Amino acid sequence: MTTARQVAADILARSHSRAGFAAELIDDELSRASLSPQDRRFVTQLVFGVIRRRGTLDALLKPFIQIPFHAVQPRVWDVLHLGAYQIAFLTHVPRHAAVNETVELATHVGSPKAKGFVNGVMRRVAELVTDEFTDEPRPDAVPFEQRYRKLARPILPDPATVPDAYFAAAFSFPKWLADRWLARYGPDECTRLGFWFNSPPPLWVRVNKLHNDRETYRLRLAAALIEAEPGEHPQSLRLPEHPAVRDLPGYDAGDFAVQDHSSMLVATALAPQPGMHVLDLCAAPGGKTTHLAELMDNRGRVSACDTDPKRLETVTSLCQRLGIKGAETIVLKENDEPPAGPFDAAVVDVPCSNTGVLGRRPEVRWRLRPNEFEHLIRLQTRLLIQAAERVKPGGAVVYSTCSIEPDENEGVVKAVLRGVRNLKLEAEHHAVPGRPSDGGYRARLRKA
């Protein structure tokens, strides 16, 4: 019988190929696995946890690996990461179970001869991690749920003398990103960001205003014993317990969509009115497309463009589930020009570094390279200009990212404003990660 740990190991193996985001791989693998709801939650916890904490797990493991690191097979590394994560970060998993089950995983990943090696390393990690905690960052303590779990001896860099190396290892970020953030934010804010990005992100839903109001739907959730907290946005509800989305009341009827609170504010910033024709230039997976239609009371048109036909299918599916009318999907090839319009307004939620959503997309911290920003900024600038060109005089364009990097945000907007004289900045907002949700940026521009 397939176990949760085996499924998690298989998903981690797939994640190395950049085949998709972890959330998509988990959904795909769980759709084919016969696991209990509890085991499904365990798979999700393991996969996200290992990817988020890979840098910290390497720091815990490497002192006990006496062979060249490159000699350890990639799938055996996954097994070691899974075991170390359970020992260091999952207090509900008994230590002996974490060790024994991890040893057995070696056979599942095709390396039965590695069982002795895995057993030796796991036992040393189990001896290293204590059950004591502290409130201070130290070389002998790993960040753990807003505090620090003590280790039997120091293995991390000293936060007092090498804060960049400490942040990278203790909070599990690439060194270049640690340097970038420490220079901008300082150690205290970086510590807050580290804890936030290494915690499961909150689940937010956007109540479909075409079907019901927020309070009515909140009471339906309460009747089903599901806690929900209203957010700042009038359609937003935060669900602290992370219930299974498809099991929520009204899922099939389209009474809500999953969308982070920060993202809900993007379409609202455009303030579309019934009868408008709106361009959604980077539309997949459809959260903003459907929200625009809802805000127009299903009495407008949205041209939803994207370069990925498969992801555009999710836009169509979401529109169907939510009962959205007037949205058309348009596949653009890589260098295609968007539809000519003219449009009454436009949203351009550009491809970006995703540094504002590293908790939700944990693999990004390992995939992103510092030399990618130049390409991203060129693309973002081109997309914003294209959107602005297609809006009627007097129309608005909202530019948004899920990045917290200034050069992708206000840097792009300022550059476009310098080059396009008939655009004016009306408003901008920086969403700070964890206050209360994802990080990002949005700016509303008006065409003269």
pLDDT tens-digit profile of 46-61? 999 999 999 999 999 9
> Mean pLDDT over residues 102-111, rounded?
97
Mean pLDDT over each residue of the chain, to the nearest integer: 96
- Predicted pLDDT of residue 335: 81
Band (pLDDT 50/70/90 cuts) for residue 423 is very high
Which of 28-37, 106-115, 395-404 has the lowest average pLDDT?
A: 28-37
> Mean pLDDT over residues 215-229, rounded?
97
User: Of 440, 1, 113, 15, nearest to 262 (Cα)?
Assistant: 440
> Mean pLDDT over residues 424-437, rounded?
97
- Predicted pLDDT of residue 17: 78
Whether 181 has a pLDDT exceeding 90, the answer reads yes
- Predicted pLDDT of residue 21: 85
pLDDT tens-digit profile of 308-354? 999 999 999 999 999 999 999 999 988 889 999 899 999 999 999 99
- Predicted pLDDT of residue 341: 87
Whether 92 has a pLDDT exceeding 90, the answer reads yes
Whether 14 has a pLDDT exceeding 90, the answer reads yes
- Predicted pLDDT of residue 134: 98
Pick the more confident residue, 1 or 381: 381
- Cα 48 versus chain centre, distance: 10
Number of H helices, E strands in the chain: 17, 14
- Predicted pLDDT of residue 359: 93
pLDDT tens-digit profile of 107-164? 999 999 999 999 999 999 999 999 999 999 999 999 999 999 999 999 999 999 999 9
Whether 286 has a pLDDT exceeding 90, the answer reads yes
- Predicted pLDDT of residue 419: 94
Torsion angle (degrees, nearest 10) of CA 115, 118, 124, 127: -80
- Predicted pLDDT of residue 20: 74
Instruction: Give the number of C-alpha atoms closer than 13 A to the C-alpha of residue 215, restricted to the C-beta side.
Output: 0
pLDDT tens-digit profile of 64-82? 999 999 999 999 999 999 9
DSSP state letter for 93 = S
Catalytic residues: 402
> Mean pLDDT over residues 206-220, rounded?
97
> Mean pLDDT over residues 245-273, rounded?
97
Tokens found for residue 359 = 């908790």
- Predicted pLDDT of residue 35: 93
Q: How far apart are CA 395 and CA 379, in angstroms?
A: 22
- Predicted pLDDT of residue 19: 65
Name all domains of the chain by residue range, CATH numbers in brackets: 4-197 (1.10.940.10), 203-258 (3.30.70.1170), 267-447 (3.40.50.150)
User: Of 313, 309, 307, 256, nearest to 281 (Cα)?
Assistant: 307
User: Of 122, 145, 121, 125, nearest to 135 (Cα)?
Assistant: 145
Whether 93 has a pLDDT exceeding 70, the answer reads yes
